[in-house]
Amino acid sequence: MTLMNCLILAFLLFGIGVWGLIHRRHLVGMLISMELMLNAANINFISFAYFTASDSTAGALFSIFVIAVTACEMAIALAIVVSMYRRYKSLDVEQLRDLHD
Amino acid sequence: MTNEISISYLIFLMPLLTFVVNGLFLGRKSAKGAAAFAITCNGIAFASALYLAIKFFTVGLPPIVFQIPFLKFAENFAANIGLLVDPLSIMMLVVVTFIAFMVNIYSVGYMRGDRAEGRFFALLSLFSFSMLGLVAATNLFQMFVFWELVGVSSYLLIGFWYHKPSAVSASKQAFILTRFADSFFLFGIVLVSYVLQSFDFFAINSITLSYFKEHTINLGIMTVTQADALILGAVMIFTGGWGKSAMFPMHIWLPNAMEGPTPVSSIIHSATMVVAGVYLVARLFPFFAVCGNALELIMWVGAFTMVFAAVIACTQKDIKRILAYSTLSQLGYMMFALGACKIGSAVITTGWTASTFHIFTHAFFKCSLFLIAGSLIHQVHTNDLDAMGGLRKKMPVTYICALISILAISGIPPFSGFFSKDEIILAAFQGHHYVVFGLALLTSGLTTFYMFRLFFLAFHGKPRSESVAAGHVHEDFAMTLPIAILAVPALLSGIAAKGLFEHFFVPGKLRVPQLVLLPEAHWIPFVAVAIAVLALLIAWVLYASPKAKIERALDDVNRGGIYKTIYHKFYFDEMYYCVVRQFIFNGVAKIARNIQDYVIEGLVAAAVKFVHILGSLVRTAQSGNLTFYLGTLIVGIIIWRFIGNLPF
Amino acid sequence: MDTLLFNLIWLIPLFTVLVCAPIPGAKAKLIKGIHGVSATLVLLLVAYLTYRLYTLSGTPANEAAAPLLLQFFTDIPWIAALNAHYMVGADGLNMFLLLLTAVIVWAGVFVSWEIKGNQKVFFALIQMLATSVYGVFMSMDLVLFFVFYEMEALCMYLMIAGYGSGRKDYGGKKLTLTLAFGSSMILATLFGLYFESGIHSWSIMELSKITIPMDFQMWAFPLMFMGFAVSSSLFPFHFWSPDGHASAPTAVSMLAAGVMMKMGAYGCLRIAMFLMPEAAKIWLPWVVAFLIFNVVLGPFIALRHKDLKYITAYSSISHLGLIFLGLAAITPVGLRGAALQMISHGFLTGLFFATIGMIYERTHTRDITQMGGIMRKMPFLGVGFVIAGFAGLGLPGFSGFVAESTIFIGAFGQESTLTRIVTILAILSITTTAVYILQTANRMLHGNMPAKYETLTDGCFREKLIIVVLVACLLLIGIFPGWISNMLDQSIAPIFAKISAATAPVNGIGG
Amino acid sequence: MSYIPNYIIPDLLLLILPFLVIGSRLFVKDNSKIPWRIANIGLVLIFALLNFIPLAGGSRFFINNWNVSDFGILMREVLVLSAILGVWLSKDYFNHGGDGKPAMNQIAEFIGTIAFATFGGITVISACDLLTFFLGLEIATIPMYALTAWNKRDQLGSEAATKYILMGSVATAFELFGFSYLYGFAGTIRFDAIQTAASNPNPLLWIAILFLFCGIGFKLTLFPFYTWAPDVYEGAPTPVTAVLSVTSKATAIAFLVMLVYGPLAPVREQIAPLIALLAGVTLFVGNLGALKQSRLRRFMAYSSIAQAGYIMIALLGDSAMAKTAIIYYLFVYALSNYLAFFVFGIIGHHREESFDSLRGLSKQNVSLAVALAVAMFSLAGIPPLAGFFGKFHLFFSGASTGHYGIVVFAVLNNVLALYYYLQVIKSAWADEADEHLTPLRMTRRQRWVIVLLTVAVILIGILPFLSNNVFAGFTF
């Protein structure tokens, strides 16, 4: 397995995330696909760190931090989603149409 | 010499002073005071003009008495205000100041009790001031300056009774028509001064055309030699005079100007306004003489107007209109006399002298005629011959003076008109312009006819209005005095001044190129007088003889078509109205307005609309749909990848 | 000393605003008094400085001011980051424009004495407008110039929107946005001037010493010239002015038409033509084509209008066309004519709008078909209007004639075919001007008067004073044009010298 | 690590301030003013301290990972200023809600969160490697999500928050992706190392740049990543909108500046077209969107989008000029924007936040109308107000490298901008008042703040001290 494979994998993961994001209408589903995208980035870091990078610790470190940060972000996101649910009694993004021109 | 200078200043300052003082202060306070002030000032002006004239004809004066710089365009290309003296201008100065003096006196009676008597005197003085400035002009620019002032003061005076719509429209017409001519005048000035790099009369009068043959000048539509440009300039300048002296077809404003107070008409017709055109041509005579066939044009314009006006005058019933058309025809005389001075390339001087001489004599008798008409109107309260008749008994002095002036205008010796008119006809003959010569003779007959028609219908016969019959009519001293005074020059100025003119108004004295002189033709006067007498008899038979049918003569309803056409002045007013209304106002102006309102504003509106459409496009994208928003993120990456022209 | 006073010209109005700021709006009398005093003060100040300038004619204050023979020259570093300086100075050209402004502002303050609405704010805005205009004419540094130049948009809109009449928002927006459009074009080219010139200076004098690269000039000059032309309502950018004037209060119309529209022409002369002469020589012969509309069709449009302010607006458009005719014929006489016309038209249009405003206050209509014969009721205002009209149609004795004849003679000196045609047309169209002016005067002042106007009163002393002063200015220039045109000559000479020295490349487009 | 250098003190203070504020809640009872006072004192103190740090030029490192450069210091001042104003603005929303929304509570936490966001911005500025950079950005962003949803009883608020956080995290993902490629390209996360590596670029770098720009484009509301802004600005509580439009924009632009003049400096010439394009399109679209708005905060959203476009232009110039321009502009922008928001806040407390609520303002409350006019004209960039000079600096910087095309375009767009700002002024000045609008009342604090900001906006432009100080920082 080469760097290229990993990058392609990451890219595919990213693409899947994007696809899910567009395609899903359920908020939690969208959050999950967003996670996919973030982790694609992580894979990039790791693989660069493993194969090429002169300063390989940085990559690994970076990915760890990313995981942490993403966790907080998800926490907030879920909180908001919950409050959403309280208002709309559903998690369908199609309902988010009150704010528009 | 300083003495003369200060005196000559007086001539101009006095009327100006009157204008300022009366216009600003005295006018509203007391009409009497204004009148008195105006008369004194004009009297002083006349006196000093006379003094200057005597000085000039006895000891002589420098060509330019004084000159004040006005506007400098470049080194040795400046416009000055000054006083140019030669016989011509001196003669005009005297005439103008004298007439102004008379008219001012007359106005005391005529305007008595008018709302704005003070304003009237102020404007009258402004009028004479502008004319004096025009006469004294040393260069084209100064002439144009005062030319315009004459125009505006005539506008103010003709529209003096501004609550009378007819007066207002008449004044407007007068101003705009002359202004129209002036625009060409201005163009002529710009063109000529551009070629010659000077406004100065001496420079302009002493050019030789051949010198300008080689250089060319771009007139936009075509490129011509400077010589041709000068000829064009000459014609343009003449156009200014054309309009000012109300030559056909720009004549219509003059009869309509009758709406103004009669003193105004008299001063316009005799001295101040209409002769300006003739004066312009006379002043630039050598220039016109060298400029190709400019003189031909002038001659024909003059000749045609002469006949045209005379014919119309024969049918009118408004006495002021009759006089107006007579003025037109007399101006025609002067014009064509100036124009007739050319035989091939040579130039004769007779016509020039004659024309100036006629300006001189005409001023007196025409002024007095108008004043007479004025006092008639003042007594009878109408301009219409229908309501007159039998005034001989009531107004004896006026009657005599009228007779004198009418004889003068008809060219019966020894009255003043005879000499000048005779000279003019002679000029036409000497210039080998036999057609014009014939027309001139004919017109002199017509003149006699319509003047005596007026005379008989007004003074002889039985009274045709009860006010006259009832005998409310009397003579007003203030009005009769100037009439009486004016009768004297009307009678004598011919004999008196003939010598003067023949001695001084000759090339040597005028700084104009030497002109050829031709022998007199001694039989002409007799012919002219014969025709005049004949016309007089016809008039007598028709209007004054015991078996004349007055009401038939005054009837204008059941007449032949030709008579009607003439009576309605060949429907020229209507034509003008049609042109202005339909072509200018509803044509060009409307198109311009539409271009503005629809094309320009339309484009602006379209631009705004376009932006708004784009705006609403952006806003429709803001649908609130989260999926769409997320889509934009992805799309964003892709488009920036491709149009962000990153090098990969 | 004089230099200090010169700087006070634009500081006094600003200071006045600050003084009046804490005073409660209820004390309108006091506030108006202060503003009146300050306006008069500035007027006197400018008059004095004009006299001073006349006495020390033509000798530059120091070598920095030499290229334009400036007096009262001040140069202080201002914004280091932009390398902008506070640089002001006076020569004949801008001194007379300052005088004009001072007179018009003075008249404007007194004309709007009885204005409806919050007077405190209104007078403050007038003073700020005055500040901006003074600044434009004084400043010799491009940044400073532009700051003042665009400042007026702010005041204009607020005044029109807050105190105007009729479609005030529409008129105000149209005016403000169009002017902003123009000034944005100018701003864009200013940056170019700064960086392309290679000397990194905003000073007009510094920039005038070097030749701007030709390829830059070729696109920058038209942009800048048009930018300025917008505010002088050169076709096709004139559309803002009729609506703007119509909806503006009297004082604003006076300032806009009398002074603001001159700022554009001034900029064209002082900046566009002076700094980019090569391109000017190439482009200006083509600019003339637009003038056919301004000069020839403008009067005709005025002929078709019934609203006094529209008529006056179109007459302004045609008169400003003449200014550009003078500029576009790149001859010393033409340029001087243009300058003269700027000043003369300022006074006469000020008089026009002042009388119109006063009449409107009484009749409550500007439609001339509704009026008639009111000369009988208000002779003084009527005479004022007629005088303005005569000055407008170029009657000798008033400033208009001097300016126009100078422009005609100057423009005829330009050889190019297009200019010749337009000049001839312009000369011939003095008739049209006469037609619409007389028609307006007759319809409004003469003839029969409707009964409802029986109660009208003539101008009060304040109004009479304004009219008298403006007429006096018109007459002064009209009768003694010699001294003013000499002073203008001195200040135009260097500009023309620079332009005539410029040699346009033969391959460029040109007429 | 024996001593603490003084230039780090403000940062430390700012770091502990939120804990102080929130902690104080434990000892005082509800609706007491203490936390708010503490926050004020703290922030003002920090602002004052920042002004004492001399702009020596160059940058100072703290445990060689915390870079306090001149740009950093000035940027800190901007952020703290914005925080102060935001805190002042938010005070009223805890007494009674605006725009028909219920009042908010837990002011202490609210302020604390704002302070956190500010600290995030500071982290971004002081970063010297990608990791700190990323963390800073996240610290700056995540509190914003929370703030947007602060008003739990407001449906629109939570909708806005949802949209914001979903799109925000996607943008974060992009950014992270970009970072990862950048790391892959340079093999290190240190800026200086990346900079040296960037002098011989390869596709990896370009992809990284693309992703980075798109990620930050979201926060900076560049086209087409701006779509969240109008909705979020409208849904969020007014003070949050204000903070969003200033703090998070400032953070984002600081991020870009760090990037463009730091690691990517060698390839600045190549990415200039991209920047110009982004700027042009963004400001055009922002202006177009604002044209026909009727709700004030939505309108402000579009206007801030356009402003972002204008700011981008400065990035075309070289370092000193661009930094001067951006810092100066951010100051001006913060002041004008907050002035506008204060006015809108006062309106919104008594009326619905729409253009119609402004009708006849000049008749009822002149000072407010003047303040509004000043704010709008300043945002529109009309001299002599500060906004003009800000824009002037931006264009100056853009033109200095000969990008006249974009400058001309931007300048012409100013006319468009002026149009819609005039719409606001029109409804305040030209429209007649309709009587059934509830009258306006101002607390003394509000009046003082408005007067202060108005004067500042008028003077900062004309008096050169600010721009000169800023400029001094970059010309050594």
B433 contact partners, CB below 8 Å, separation of at least 6 = B299, B340
Tell whether the model's pLDDT for residue B506 goes beyond 70. no
Tell whether the model's pLDDT for residue D317 goes beyond 50. yes
C430 closest CB neighbour out of B168, B186, B603 = B186
Cβ of D163 within 8 Å of Cβ of B618? The answer is no
User: pLDDT by residue (tens digit) across D182-195?
Assistant: 999 999 999 999 99
Q: Give which of B440, B403, B399 is closest to B302, Cα–Cα.
A: B440
Which pLDDT belongs to residue B497? 85
> Which value, in Å, is the radius of gyration of the alpha carbons in chain D?
21
D211 in contact with B, Cβ within 8 Å: yes
Whether C392 contacts C433, CB under 8 Å: yes
How many CB pairs below 8 A link A and B? 27
B623 closest CB neighbour out of A18, A22, A100 = A100
Instruction: State mean pLDDT over C362-376.
Output: 88
Structural domain contains residue A97: no
Residues B37, B33: Cα–Cα separation, whole Å: 6
3-state secondary structure B119-176: HHHHHHHHHHHHHHHHHCCCEHHHHHHHHHHHHHHHHHHHCCCCCCHHHHHHHHHHHH
Render B427-481 in DSSP notation, one character per residue.
HHHHTT-HHHHHHHHHHHHHHHHHHHHHHHHHHSS---SHHHHHT-----HHHHH
Higher pLDDT, B29 or C403: C403
Share of chain B above pLDDT 90, in %: 48
Which residue of chain C comes nearest to D370, CA vs CA? C121
Q: What is each CA distance from A26 to A29, A93, B629, D162, in whole angstroms?
A: 5, 6, 15, 12
Number of Cα atoms under 13 Å in the Cβ half of residue C356: 30
Which residue of chain D comes nearest to B619, CA vs CA? D289
Cβ of D418 within 8 Å of Cβ of C180? The answer is yes
Instruction: Give ∠ CA B432-B434-B439 in degrees, rounded to 5.
Output: 140
Task: Tell me which chain D residues have a C-beta less than 8 angstroms from the C-beta of C181.
Answer: 412, 415
Cite the DSSP H helix spans in C197-239.
204-209, 214-231
Instruction: State mean pLDDT over C255-280.
Output: 93
D-contacting residues of B 608-637, CB under 8 Å? 611-612, 614-619, 621-622, 624, 626, 628-630, 632-633, 635-637
- The neighbours of chain B, by the rule of 3 or more Cβ pairs under 8 Å, are A, C, D
Whether C8 contacts C45, CB under 8 Å: yes
Helix axes D107-126, D249-261, angle to 10 degrees: 10
3-state helix, strand, coil in chain A (%, to 5): 80, 0, 15
Residue A31's CATH number: 1.10.287.3510
Render D70-82 in DSSP notation, one character per residue.
HHHHHHHHHHHHH
Taking the CA atoms of residue A65, residue A69, residue A71 and residue A73 in that order, the dihedral angle to the nearest 10 degrees is: -170
> Helix, strand, or coil here: A97?
coil
C11 in contact with D, Cβ within 8 Å: no
Shortest CA gap A55–chain D (Å): 5
Q: Give which of C47, C60, C55 is closest to C89, Cα–Cα.
A: C60
Sign of CA dihedral B268, B274, B275, B280: positive
Tell whether the model's pLDDT for residue C507 goes beyond 50. no
Tell whether the model's pLDDT for residue D30 goes beyond 90. no
Number of domains in chain A: 1
Which pLDDT belongs to residue D88? 93
**Which element (helix H / strand E) includes B524?**
helix B524-539
Shortest CA gap A28–chain B (Å): 14
Tell whether the model's pLDDT for residue C175 goes beyond 90. yes
> Helix, strand, or coil here: C90?
strand
The encoded tokens of residue C293 equal 């509309």
3-state secondary structure B14-65: HHHHHHHHHHHHHHHHCHHHHHHHHHHHHHHHHHHHHHHHHHHHHCCCCCEE
Tell whether the model's pLDDT for residue C25 goes beyond 50. yes
The encoded tokens of residue B6 equal 């200060």
- The neighbours of chain A, by the rule of 3 or more Cβ pairs under 8 Å, are B, D
Burial grade of A18 (CB within 10 A; 0-12, 13-18, 19 or more): buried
- Confidence category of residue B515, pLDDT binned at 50, 70, 90: low
- Confidence category of residue C509, pLDDT binned at 50, 70, 90: very low
Instruction: State mean pLDDT over B621-644.
Output: 89
Q: What is each CA distance from B367 to B87, B104, B354, B483, B490, in whole angstroms?
A: 22, 12, 19, 9, 9
The encoded tokens of residue A98 equal 């009150």
Residues B429, B438: Cα–Cα separation, whole Å: 9
Phi, psi for residue B512 in degrees, rounded to 5: -115, 155
Which pLDDT belongs to residue C510? 40
D183 closest CB neighbour out of A17, A53, A65 = A53
D131 in contact with A, Cβ within 8 Å: yes
Shortest CA gap D89–chain C (Å): 26
Domain coverage including residue A21 = 3-90
Average pLDDT value over all residues in chain D: 91
Question: Lowest-confidence range among B53-57, B287-291, B507-511, D405-409?
Answer: B507-511
The encoded tokens of residue C113 equal 């004495």
Render D253-277 in DSSP notation, one character per residue.
HHHHHHHHHTTTGGGHHHHHHHHHH
3-state secondary structure C250-279: HHHHHHHHHHHHHHHHHHHHHHHHHHCHHH
Which pLDDT belongs to residue C372? 84
Which pLDDT belongs to residue D1? 47
Task: Tell me which chain B residues have a C-beta less than 8 angstroms from the C-beta of D214.
Answer: 633, 636-637, 640
Residues C331, C334: Cα–Cα separation, whole Å: 5
- Confidence category of residue B509, pLDDT binned at 50, 70, 90: low
Task: Tell me which chain C residues have a C-beta less than 8 angstroms from the C-beta of B165.
Answer: 446-448
Cite the DSSP H helix spans in D149-202.
155-186, 191-198
User: pLDDT by residue (tens digit) across B452-483?
Assistant: 999 998 888 888 777 777 777 778 888 889 99
Which pLDDT belongs to residue D195? 94
> Which value, in Å, is the radius of gyration of the alpha carbons in chain A?
17
* B481 phi-psi bin (left φ>0, alpha ψ -120 to 50, beta other): alpha
Domain positions in chain C: 2-501
Structural domain contains residue A96: no
- Confidence category of residue B382, pLDDT binned at 50, 70, 90: confident
A83 in contact with D, Cβ within 8 Å: yes
A and C touching (3 or more beta-carbon pairs closer than 8 Å) = no
User: pLDDT by residue (tens digit) across D98-119?
Assistant: 777 888 888 899 999 999 999 9
**Which element (helix H / strand E) includes D35?**
helix D34-52
Tell whether the model's pLDDT for residue B507 goes beyond 60. no
Task: Tell me which chain C residues have a C-beta less than 8 angstroms from the C-beta of D468.
Answer: 79-81
Number of Cα atoms under 13 Å in the Cβ half of residue D65: 8
Shortest CA gap D211–chain A (Å): 11
Instruction: State mean pLDDT over C224-241.
Output: 91
Cis peptide before C213, with omega less than 30 degrees from 0? no
Q: What is each CA distance from B219 to B228, B525, D237, D410, in whole angstroms?
A: 11, 48, 73, 45
In the DSSP assignment, the letter for residue B543 is I
Give this complex's ipTM. Answer: 0.91
- Confidence category of residue D300, pLDDT binned at 50, 70, 90: very high
Instruction: State mean pLDDT over C125-134.
Output: 95
Domain positions in chain D: 1-263, 277-476
> Helix, strand, or coil here: B225?
strand
- Max distance between CA atoms of chain C, in angstroms, equals 70
Tell whether the model's pLDDT for residue C165 goes beyond 90. no
Which pLDDT belongs to residue D193? 93
Residues B352, D473: Cα–Cα separation, whole Å: 89
D-contacting residues of C 105-124, CB under 8 Å? 118, 120-121
Q: Give which of B141, B143, B41 is closest to B92, Cα–Cα.
A: B143
